[in-house]
Amino acid sequence: MGSGFFALLDDIAAIMDDVAVMSKVAAKKTAGILGDDLAVNAEKASGFASSRELPVLWAISKGSLLNKIIILPVAFLLSAFFPIAIIIILVLGGLFLAYEGAEKIYEFIVPHKHEESEGITDEVLTEEQILLIEKDKVKSAIVTDFILSVEIVIIALGTVIEQPLLQKIIVTSIIAVVATIGVYGIVALIVRMDEAGFKLIKSSKSEKSLSRFIGNLLVKALPFVIKSLTVIGTIALLLVAGGIFVHYIPFFHHLSEEIKIPSIFKEFTVGLVLGFIVLLFVNLFKKIFQKKTA
């Protein structure tokens, strides 16, 4: 009886060792997409009133966890019974990400009026308006997170595709949870940089103290960080989309092999071109729909 129990413990220890090793491999494979996920979500989570930043981030984080709860079992079932569906979902998600990235570039090159205010501040809008805009932005962030989460889960799953089902579930789930906690934890630190800076300045007793210097640096750096995240987030959208197209669509995969330039430029170019094609069709559809409803 005792020997059977210790044998069971040895088996569990061996499984956990395997899980630890495979989790490291999966983490390395998903590191690039996690970086893109961070840039995209930090850009999406910025622009809220200071008092609303953490509640909004918490709402997006809960949405992200729910996304992964939905995605994980579906991914396991599809990988077992209908693997082609994984590729179809990835490509459709890539088209959405490419469209979002192209739309941001289009809006920068061809400025036009927006119904919503660019900034959400207590002085400009009523509390009801702020909450309404927040709700829309949170929905948009969760939709984008869903697509990026699919990519993270699929890449993590691909690293353990030959392993037993239990190890597949454990490793992929670990990566999914770590991705959510890690990404949104860092996003929270970024958007609260100025608050941390003000607290350091208030706590410092000397004008030349290290805490005051760091506080001023954090406060002054935040606007530049937020602006840079807008650019980085847009680039990340197109890179993630281009990476999906290059890896999962044979035409673009063969084309990228023939063109001798760094893969990052190939993926960005493919994402940008297809993004503008989708944007063109969306804008044409909007015009046709407006004419019919006018």
Task: Report d(CA 203, CA 183) in Å as an integer.
Answer: 29
The sign one gets for the Cα dihedral 86, 92, 96, 101 is positive
pLDDT at 279: 93
Domain ranges for the chain, please list them. Answer: 2-293
For every residue of 162-207, DSSP letters joined together read: TS-HHHHHHHHHHHHHHHHHHHHHHHHHHHTHHHHHHHHHHH--ST
Kindly report, residue by residue over 153-210, the tens digit of the pLDDT.
Answer: 877 776 676 677 777 788 788 888 887 887 788 777 777 777 778 777 877 777 777 7
pLDDT at 274: 94
pLDDT of residue 37 exceeding 70:
no
Report the chain's mean pLDDT, rounded to a whole number: 75
pLDDT at 235: 84
3-state secondary structure of 123: coil
pLDDT at 270: 92
Kindly report, residue by residue over 80-101, the tens digit of the pLDDT.
Answer: 788 788 778 778 878 888 898 8
pLDDT at 294: 63
pLDDT of residue 21 exceeding 50:
no
**Per the structure block, which two tokens stand in for 108?**
């920068």
Kindly report, residue by residue over 213-244, the tens digit of the pLDDT.
Answer: 788 887 788 777 777 777 777 887 788 788 88
**CB-based contacts of 200: which residues, under 8 Å, 6+ apart?**
211, 212, 214, 215, 218
Kindly report, residue by residue over 88-147, the tens digit of the pLDDT.
Answer: 877 887 888 889 889 889 988 886 655 444 444 445 566 677 778 778 888 888 888 887
> Where does the pLDDT of residue 1 fall: very low under 50, low under 70, confident under 90, or very high at 90 and above?
very low
pLDDT of residue 7 exceeding 50:
no
Across the range 36-65, mean pLDDT stands at: 73
**Per the structure block, which two tokens stand in for 163?**
């392993």
User: What DSSP element (H or E) covers 130?
Assistant: helix 127-159
pLDDT of residue 77 exceeding 60:
yes
